[in-house]
Chains A and B, each alone.
Chain A
């Protein structure tokens, strides 16, 4: 890439892939925004490399370094689950998911069409044909449509505007002041409860029910075909003695495996469900349930270390020493956790 080209800001259009979500993102470098962050569990994802190449930006491995948010053109992630999918849109950073993710998880409200596109492969990244820079600038800087609770007018303020100004308004206000106060108190209580209910139903529809559907299908197949019993025969000698469980926990905590096993806790959840089915048919003794819970989960969060640290406003140096520290620590603490859990499970 020549000197001149790096100074030219070229727009890149990233469209959603088959089964993907979003209407596409127009990305472009500017004065400070010059880096494409690849947060895909180590290494630079080809999609990130392609975007960087076309936009004249620099691709950075977000798993080993952190970049200040205001230097990021776009973040490339591989997340179909809970966390990473919302973290970058929440900060207003355009996010390209290489998995077919859709808005979900606790940060779903921030995942908007202006900031998120998914199921993106290298083929979906192309130089932009329409070169309308201002629109892109606006889209990149745009915050989610719903402002946070603190910035929204309170119900009290809204109530105060109802009566309007003037003499009548003043009289009206003084007479009904007590009622307004009481009413807005009740109103804010009811609205909070209602919002909580809405949040719950959203989460149930977008995250919990889909997972239940998928788990049911898996369990149905495993039970009906007899694979469950076959697995029980293989697994129960390993999982029904403490040494086998310690071995499992050590394997999942290996630093080169744990970041791969982490995303969305998908693997731990599937194994947990399968182990549960083994307990149900009696292939696994109940007293091993507790150590099993820790054995299958030694990798928890290992895929998310740099992002989690960045959420805590950690500096790049901290990420550089912290990521390996957490991964190495797990090799000690994961087997230890199983031993403690085993000791704690007597009398269950």
Chain B
């Protein structure tokens, strides 16, 4: 429908009598541009399939196998270790979570944190699911085109996307770190503002008790 609407708008711009057969000419024009539109789309599709897909498929296979070999237990230990300090909590922890568990299961690692840090960890981890697709597309394969859309444009200019990918990845890490810290502060403020200081103090005690019991 949209296609036809676009064409209808363009039609008056076509000078009358340019084609020989009046009514037939209109249909000729419509026919040419109708199929032309889909030929163009088809070329785009072939470009994506031959350009991106082959590498993506073997890379995905390799990374899925690797995560199976490494195993969830080892990852869990690394994550528990990184949950202790504020610097690693919003850098190493979300990165491991996203790389190993992928979107959306990565957020389940929030369970290793006290309640007051969970929103900040979520914010940090979810903000990494697009920068991560530059080198590790398997981690969020359903949402590749935030990165690939832009990268595709750069490729078409004949430039390498690697420098851009590297910077996106590194700036991504810096941004999730800042986001974690800021959200942690705002969460603390919200706890105070809504009069839940006592509730969260209880949660902290529960968390400490559970941790002590778990060891």
Q: Which of A305-348 contact B (CB under 8 A)?
A: 305, 307-309, 311-315, 317-318, 320-326, 328-330, 332-333, 336-337, 340-341, 344-345, 348
Contacts of B125 in A (CB 8 A): 308
B127 touches A308 (CB 8 A): no
Contacts of A340 in B (CB 8 A): 171, 174-175, 178
Contacts of B69 in A (CB 8 A): 192
Interface SS of chain B: helix, strand, loop or mixed?
helix
B2 touches A221 (CB 8 A): yes
**B140 nearest CB neighbor, chain A only:** A82
Q: Complex: how many Å from CA A322 to CA B43?
A: 45
Known A-B contacts A279-B153, A289-B153; the reply to A200 vs B127 at CB < 8 A is no
Q: Total number of A-B contacts with CB less than 8 angstroms?
A: 300
**B113 nearest CB neighbor, chain A only:** A312
Interface SS of chain A: helix, strand, loop or mixed?
helix
B60 touches A212 (CB 8 A): no
Known A-B contacts A200-B60, A308-B104, A308-B107; the reply to A224 vs B37 at CB < 8 A is yes
B175 touches A324 (CB 8 A): no
**A199 nearest CB neighbor, chain B only:** B64
* Among B69, B118, B130, B145, residue most surrounded by chain A Cβ atoms (within 10 Å): B145
Contacts of B22 in A (CB 8 A): none
Contacts of B171 in A (CB 8 A): 290, 294, 337, 340-341, 344
> Which of A207, A276, A322 has a CB less than 8 Å from the CB of B151?
A276
Contact with B along A258-281 (1 / 0, CB 8 A): 000000110011111111111110
* Among A216, A313, A323, residue most surrounded by chain B Cβ atoms (within 10 Å): A216
State the B residues within 8 Å of A (CB).
2-3, 6, 10, 33, 36-38, 40-45, 48-49, 53, 56-57, 60-65, 68-69, 102-105, 107-111, 113, 115-116, 118-123, 125-127, 129-130, 138, 140-154, 156-157, 159, 163-164, 167-168, 170-171, 174-175, 178-179, 182-183, 186-187, 189-191, 194, 196, 199-200, 203
Given contacts A221-B6, A333-B175, 6 further A-B contacts (CB under 8 A): A203-B141, A264-B142, A273-B145, A284-B153, A314-B115, A333-B178
